[in-house]
Amino acid sequence: MLVLSRRLGESIVIGNEIVVRIVDVRGDQVRLGIEAPRDVQIHREEVFLELQQENESAAGASARTQGRVADLPRPAGGAAPGQRPARPMRPLPKRRED
Amino acid sequence: MSDDTVVDGPVLEFTDGIPGFAGSHHFVLTDLTEDGVFQLLASLEDPALSLVVTVPWLFFPDYDLELPEHDRRSLAIESPEDVVVYCSVIAEEVSDGLYLNLRAPFVANPHTLAARQVILDDEDLPLRARFGGEA
């Protein structure tokens, strides 16, 4: 891990476009301002790690989940008995529509 | 991605992958159940990686998804209706329950097929929301 010291108001640049600035320091709490291209997602680390773990769990449980949803009584989503539920969403194109 | 790849459904493109699987950029979406209620997102880069998904409103009609502005712009989503949303499903081993990840849905632009897993701002939304009815 790269460790740098910064004072209030100072910044660091990551790559060519991401800027992290020390906006406020109060006691042991530091407020960071971040400028990044819109494609870059930014989250508190603990939130990210929580999701990472959940994705790994869901992926690891994929086979079990596939079996379990196949056993779910039909219909789902409130359709009347005997009625095929409407498709949840219009079909996506197979390829991107340029 | 080579155009020779034969796939069974639309391929969603995740620029940065998803948390835990940063190297998986392309996921093909196929039906799991005949009625299309449950689908499978299968990674093209990692054959071992797949996630069961469903449309959250089928089980949580009041699910209020507020797509953060930067995610909306990144995916070039013009209007709130013009978006595709799936939530990942997990079957728990011990509790025997089925759960949806309402906190971090997969959101895609239906025209470009650009997608990302969005972490919603509402911290009250659960990573695991039970559905399917209790015994």
* Residue A10 C-alpha, separation from nearest chain B C-alpha, in angstroms: 25
Q: What ipTM was assigned to the predicted interfaces of this complex?
A: 0.92
pLDDT in tens, B41-78: 999 999 999 999 999 999 999 998 889 988 999 999 99
Provide, as residue numbers in chain A, all residues whose Cβ is less than 8 Å from the Cβ of B90. Answer: 54, 57-58, 61, 65
Largest CA distance in chain A: 68
Residue A97 touches chain B, beta carbons under 8 Å: yes
b (16+ CB within 10 A) / e for B6-31: eeebbbbbbeebbbbbeebbbbbbee
pLDDT in tens, B87-126: 999 999 888 899 999 999 999 999 999 999 999 999 999 9
Does the predicted model carry a pTM greater than 0.95? no
Contact A92 B38 (CB under 8 A): no
**Dihedral sign, CA of B135, B129, B51, A49?**
negative
* Residue A89 C-alpha, separation from nearest chain B C-alpha, in angstroms: 8
pLDDT in tens, A7-52: 999 999 999 999 999 999 999 999 999 999 988 899 999 999 999 9
Nearest CA in chain B to A67: B91
